[in-house]
Amino acid sequence: MKGKDFLTISDISERELMDILKLSIKLKKNKVLEKMKGKTLAMLFAKTSTRTRVSFEVAMAQLGGHAIYLNWNETNFVKGDIKDEAKVLGLYCDAIMGRVFKHNQILMIAEGSDKPVINGMDDLHHPCQALADFLTILENKKTFKGLKIGWVGDGTNVCHSLMQSAELVGLEMVVASPKDYEPKIRTNARIVQNPLEAAKDADVLVTDSWVSIGFEKEKEKRIKIFRPYQLNSQLLNIAKKDCIVLHCLPAHRGYEITSEVFDSPQSKIFQESENRLHTEKALLLHLISDVL
């Protein structure tokens, strides 16, 4: 996998996914593993961030490397050729992580750079979040075999990456979204409009914000449309008794998820959030380390 880009979950095989998850478990037990001394990661942000920025920066520090934060609007990416700018970053750094708006932007960065490019999020995909989610599922369920993921709400970039991950490992996924807000990609996931279908007998229930970055002007309209898709105790009660709840954060309590569910023993949201760090360390080692 060394030298590859990681732009979508489809860029890796099932074996590579499992290798990343297994290494993540090891790294979680031994947080400091200085295998990337002298390595540098350029972190390019067009979108605001908490988890992505901090997890990647801490990951590089714990691996013995260095991360450089770059605000998109403070670089020449806003006025120069994206491919040219990415080529320059590749000359300085060992990898680039980009958190951008349009999927085409991360594709152009990857086309320009000779070094591995990681998609930290765009409008269509959030593969790093999917890695953390699947590590959380594996830790709690010990296997992917026979599991069902129920997604409730907007068919977001996080939903897309989970759909691709589920297809990769042969896991059932049912997505319940309102009409015109269904996922924009197709996998073997089943797409429905009734949230009860997604929640029934689910092993994992997942939701995301009703108003993602870039859709703030549609807030009032979206709240009305998505109100029936709230992840609440009614849905949790028809899932399996040991169902776990995931949310990529930030969460808006009382909207896409109730505080009752968010704070329940079945919620693994903060475990999921912590796992961003460990899966990203494993991903970085796979992509740019000479020892793996």
Query: What is the rounded distance in angstroms from the CA atom of residue 267 to the CA atom of residue 263?
Result: 6
Residue 87 burial (CB count, 10 A): 16
Quick one: 191 exposed, middle or buried, by C-beta within 10 A (0-12, 13-18, 19+)? middle
Catalytic residue among 51, 159, 248, 278: 248
Residue 52 burial (CB count, 10 A): 22
Catalytic residue among 93, 203, 208, 278: 208
Residue from 241, 235, 233 nearest 197 by CA: 235
Backbone angles phi, psi at 52, to 5 degrees: -65, -45
Close Cβ partners of 257 (under 8 Å, ≥ 6 residues apart): 207, 230, 231, 232, 245, 247, 251
Task: Give the chain's radius of gyration (CA, Å).
Answer: 19
Catalytic residue among 129, 159, 230, 278: 129
Q: In 156-190, which positions are buried (b, 16+ CB within 10 angstroms) versus exposed (e)?
A: bbbbbbbbbbbbbbebbbbbbbbeebbbebebebe
99, 102, 104, 105 alpha-carbon torsion, rounded to 10°: -40
Catalytic residue among 94, 105, 122, 126: 126
Helix axes 51-62, 269-288, angle to 10 degrees: 50
Catalytic residue among 99, 125, 278, 286: 99
Residue 128 falls in the annotated catalytic set: no
Residue with tokens 């897309």, as numbered in its chain: 160
Query: What is the rounded distance in angstroms from the CA atom of residue 122 to the CA atom of residue 100?
Result: 5
Residue 276 falls in the annotated catalytic set: yes
Cα 182 to the center of its chain, rounded Å: 18
Contact in structure between 98 and 125 (CB atoms under 8 Å): no
Residue 99 falls in the annotated catalytic set: yes
Residue 248 falls in the annotated catalytic set: yes
Q: Show which residues are catalytic.
A: 99, 126, 129, 208, 248, 276
